[in-house]
């Protein structure tokens, strides 16, 4: 993304913490993926960032939505995404949620034999997708693997015969096979391995119409991370899907569920240095007016988000422990991080805020989410206001 030159005006107008989103960047990522994977249907994984304005922009670029909860399905419908362009990949759903998905007419992908049984009992003769755990996981952090022996997701591929038996007993057509190996991998070889396994397994489903390879395409967070060569990956996947179609002897659809790749780098979280203090061992703490309730990735995954000093970009480098305003010892954005020397009042930009930043946020300590401003060309507009105490307490009953 580019930091807009009028960032001081935005900060003066809306205050900090403030998330800013470069809409042109989002559009560019959507177009890049569509060009590289033109043979796949693309479903934006809205869990990465559910800001409705962003969902509408991505949908406007021709993508469907990948949802993981009824709330996300409802949001996508409200944003004008047609039900047929929404894939709901469930995990541990209730019967009521299953009925909701069927009533709304979205494509449901079940991730457990027991859920498949319940679906078959309730909807004999209908169609459904299944999520397969192909035993290969990949992610930016081991905690973000969503396949492999320790993962709670999907039906392990050794259980496919049972899945087929459940489906055929109720004349249920398993028309979609899906996998998602994890979030934020940068290793093309892992993806290729998982693709080979899922295609091998998908061939066992007689009513197959679509193979969905999930999402997880990573982006660089720190120096030395190599960005994915999306165009080369498109070619790699195309060759494999063409061979699969030729073997199957019929036409099939293919799908992807990218989240992070589309939006991570499009946003920054702007925060003001409130407090600069010396520690007892030579370290210096920079305390910001943002916290892990707005960005918990560093606390959760040790994620190395780049941090810029917008106020003094050319100052000599100095090392800081950069922390937030949440009353928890884990509330750090970075330790011993070198940035241009900062003073109280300086505005810092924490980069790659667009994916799993606000979306994973909370109102812990009764601190509100960051306000969000989008910009495109010369225009900027508020897409999320600052919640007040009443908003944060609205579901309580006294
Ligand atoms: C089922 C499913 N699909 C797609 C994604 C998107 O992952 P990412 O944002 O890394 O592309 C996720 C996230 O983990 C997911 O759970």
> Are 337 and 222 part of one and the same domain?
no
In ligand 1, the atom with minimum distance to the C-alpha of 109 is 1
**For residue 100, what pLDDT is reported?**
98
Evaluate whether residue 24 is within a structural domain.
no
Nearest CA to ligand 1 atom 16: 180
Neighbours of 262 (CB within 10 A): 31
**For residue 136, what pLDDT is reported?**
73
Write down the residue that tokens 């469930």 correspond to: 90
Position 143 confidence tier, pLDDT thresholds 50, 70, 90 = confident
Neighbours of 227 (CB within 10 A): 12
Evaluate whether residue 214 is within a structural domain.
yes
What CATH number corresponds to the domain at position 319?
2.40.37.10
Evaluate whether residue 96 is within a structural domain.
yes
**Cα–Cα separations (whole angstroms), residue 130 to 207, 223, 296:** 12, 38, 31
Position 69 confidence tier, pLDDT thresholds 50, 70, 90 = very high
Among 43, 91, 180, 198, name the best residue to mutate to test ligand 1's pocket (greatest count of ligand atoms within 8 A of Cβ). 180
Retrieve residue 232's tokens. 């080369």
Evaluate whether residue 100 is within a structural domain.
yes
pLDDT exceeds cutoff 70 at 280: yes
Q: 50 CA to middle of ligand 1, Å? A: 13
In ligand 1, the atom with minimum distance to the C-alpha of 264 is 9
> Are 76 and 181 part of one and the same domain?
yes
Tell me the average pLDDT of the chain. 95
Evaluate whether residue 185 is within a structural domain.
yes
Cα–Cα dist 194/181, whole Å = 7
Q: 49 CA to middle of ligand 1, Å? A: 11
Ligand 1 pocket residues where CB is under 6 Å:
45, 47-48, 66, 68, 89, 146, 180, 183-184, 214-217, 257-261, 355
> Are 302 and 243 part of one and the same domain?
no
Residue 157 sits in which domain range? 37-258
Domain-terminating residue out of 230, 258, 286: 258
Evaluate whether residue 341 is within a structural domain.
yes
> Are 380 and 292 part of one and the same domain?
yes
Of 262, 293, 269, the C-alpha closest to 353 is 269
Cα–Cα dist 102/82, whole Å = 14
The dihedral built from the CA positions of residue 290, 279, 352 and 66, taken in this order, carries a sign that is: negative
**For residue 183, what pLDDT is reported?**
82
Neighbours of 275 (CB within 10 A): 12
Choose between 247 and 120: higher pLDDT.
Answer: 120
> Are 252 and 276 part of one and the same domain?
no
Residue 163 near residue 130 (C-beta atoms within 8 A): yes
Q: Is 92 exposed, middle or buried (0-12, 13-18, 19+ CB in 10 A)?
A: exposed
Q: 310 CA to middle of ligand 1, Å? A: 32
> Are 220 and 294 part of one and the same domain?
no
Of 261, 265, 352, the C-alpha closest to 37 is 261
Evaluate whether residue 28 is within a structural domain.
no
> Are 222 and 86 part of one and the same domain?
yes
> Are 251 and 342 part of one and the same domain?
no
> Are 253 and 271 part of one and the same domain?
no
* Average pLDDT estimate for 111-138: 93
What CATH number corresponds to the domain at position 56?
3.20.20.10
> Are 125 and 81 part of one and the same domain?
yes
Domain-terminating residue out of 258, 281, 299: 258
What pTM did the predictor assign?
Answer: 0.96
Q: Which residues, 6+ apart, have CB-to-CB distance to 17 below 8 Å?
A: 269, 270, 271, 288, 289, 290, 294, 370, 371
Q: Residues 359-368: pLDDT tens digits?
A: 999 999 999 9
Q: 197 CA to middle of ligand 1, Å? A: 19
Among 130, 148, 257, name the best residue to mutate to test ligand 1's pocket (greatest count of ligand atoms within 8 A of Cβ). 257
* Average pLDDT estimate for 253-267: 98
> Are 136 and 198 part of one and the same domain?
yes
**For residue 144, what pLDDT is reported?**
73
**For residue 137, what pLDDT is reported?**
67
Q: 182 CA to middle of ligand 1, Å? A: 7
3-state secondary structure the chain: CCCCCCHHHHHHHHCCCEEEEEHHHHHHHHHHHHHHCCCEEEEEEHHHCCCHHHHHHHHHCCCEEEECCHHHHHHHHHCCCCHHHEEEECCCCCHHHHHHHHHHCCEEEECCHHHHHHHHHHCCCCEEEEEEECCCCCCCCHHHECCCCCCCCCEEHHHHHHHHHHHHHCCCEEEEEECCCECCECCHHHHHHHHHHHHHHHCCCCCCCEEECCCCECCCCCCCCCCCCHHHHHHHHHHHHHHHHHHHCCCCEEEECCCHHHHHHHEEEEEEEEEEEECCCCCEEEEECCCCCCCCHHHHHCCCCCEEECCCCCCCEEEEEEECCCCCCCCEEEEEEEEECCCCCCEEEECCCCCCCHHHCCCHHHCCCCEEEEEECCEEEEEECCCCHHHHCCCCCC
Evaluate whether residue 29 is within a structural domain.
no
Cα–Cα dist 197/194, whole Å = 5
**For residue 282, what pLDDT is reported?**
94
Domain-terminating residue out of 258, 282, 316: 258
Least confident of 69-78, 241-250, 320-329, 371-380: 241-250
Q: Would you please indicate which residues are annotated as catalytic (active-site) residues?
A: 327
**Cα–Cα separations (whole angstroms), residue 334 to 26, 68, 185, 260, 324:** 26, 30, 21, 21, 10
Domain count, the chain: 2
> Are 11 and 70 part of one and the same domain?
no
């Amino acid at each position: 993304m580019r930091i807009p030159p009028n960032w001081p005006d935005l900060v003066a107008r809306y205050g900090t913490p403030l998330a800013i989103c470069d809409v042109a960047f989002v559009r560019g990522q959507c177009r890049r993926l569509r060009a590289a994977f033109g043979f796949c249907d693309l479903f934006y994984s809205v869990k990465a960032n559910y800001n409705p304005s962003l969902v509408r922009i991505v949908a406007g670029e021709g993508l469907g939505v990948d949802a993981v909860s009824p709330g996300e399905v409802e949001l996508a419908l409200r944003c004008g995404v047609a039900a047929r362009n929404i894939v709901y990949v469930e995990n541990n759903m209730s019967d009521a949620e299953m009925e909701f998905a069927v009533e709304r007419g979205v494509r449901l992908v079940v991730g457990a034999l027991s859920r498949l049984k319940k679906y078959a009992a309730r909807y004999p003769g209908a169609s459904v997708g299944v999520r397969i755990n192909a035993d290969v996981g990949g992610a930016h952090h081991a905690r973000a693997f969503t396949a492999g022996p320790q993962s709670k997701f999907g039906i392990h591929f050794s259980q496919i015969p049972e899945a087929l038996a459940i489906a055929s007993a109720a004349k249920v057509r398993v028309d979609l096979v899906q996998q998602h190996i994890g979030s934020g991998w940068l290793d093309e070889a892992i993806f290729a391995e998982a693709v080979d396994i899922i295609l091998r397994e998908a061939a066992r489903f007689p009513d197959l119409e679509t193979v969905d390879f999930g999402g997880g395409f990573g982006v660089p967070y720190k120096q030395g991370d190599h960005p994915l060569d999306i165009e080369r990956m498109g070619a790699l996947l195309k060759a494999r899907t063409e061979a699969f179609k030729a073997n199957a002897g019929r036409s099939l659809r293919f799908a992807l569920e990218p989240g992070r790749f589309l939006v991570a780098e499009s946003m920054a979280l702007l925060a003001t240095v409130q407090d600069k203090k010396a520690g007892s061992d030579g370290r210096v703490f920079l305390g910001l007016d943002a916290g892990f309730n707005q960005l918990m990735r560093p606390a959760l995954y040790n994620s190395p988000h780049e941090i810029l000093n917008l106020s003094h970009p050319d100052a000599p480098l100095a090392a800081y422990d950069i922390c937030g305003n949440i009353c928890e010892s884990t509330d750090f954005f970075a330790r011993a991080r070198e940035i241009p020397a900062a003073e109280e009042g300086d505005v810092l930009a924490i980069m790659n805020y667009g994916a799993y930043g606000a979306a994973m946020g909370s109102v812990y300590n009764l601190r509100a989410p960051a306000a969000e401003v989008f910009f495109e060309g010369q225009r900027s507009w508020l897409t999320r206001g600052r919640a007040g105490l009443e908003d944060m307490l609205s579901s309580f009953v006294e």
